[in-house]
Amino acid sequence: MDIKAEQRYLLISPKKVRVVVDAVRRMNPVLAAETLSLVRKSAAEPLRKVILSALANARVKGLSETSLIFKEIQVGEGPRLKRGNPVSRGQWHPIKKRMSHIKVILMTTEKPMKGGDPTSRNASRGDIAHVTKN
């Protein structure tokens, strides 16, 4: 089961965010959230919030935090704000303020039980021995 969380239009360059993401990509999500609170980079706090949001989404779905791993952490480029710095002779030097989109996808390491609930629609005929409905 995949759990997703996303932060869009973050006013930090994707290049700067990817440095922080690469540091925590192989960690456990709970450990990554704790580690990011100690990292002194501007992208660490927004990334920590996205990971905590994904963990909260997993809790809502009834999954334990210890059985989760990162399936994917994407850092995409958002729109750019075009600003400029005026210089002599009526010219200007362009400044592109880049935005990022962060997407965190978690997955469980537990294998789902085969068969599941015998009253479910997905149960095969061989799994249903005798089901009585009230």
Taking residue 55's Cβ as centre, other Cβ atoms within 10 Å add up to 21
- pTM, 2 dp: 0.80
In this structure, what token pair is assigned to residue 130? 């005798």
What Rg value do the Cα atoms of the chain yield, rounded? Answer: 22
pLDDT in tens, 28-73: 999 999 999 999 999 999 999 999 999 999 999 999 999 999 999 9
Q: How far is CA 93 from CA 11, 14, 22, 76, 83, in A?
A: 20, 22, 32, 26, 9
How far apart CA 93 and CA 33 sit, in angstroms, is 39
pLDDT at 132: 56
- Cα separation, 124 vs 107, whole angstroms: 26
Alpha helices in the chain (DSSP H): 14-24, 29-36, 44-60
Q: Domains of the chain: which residue ranges?
A: 2-111
CATH C-level class of 2-111: alpha beta
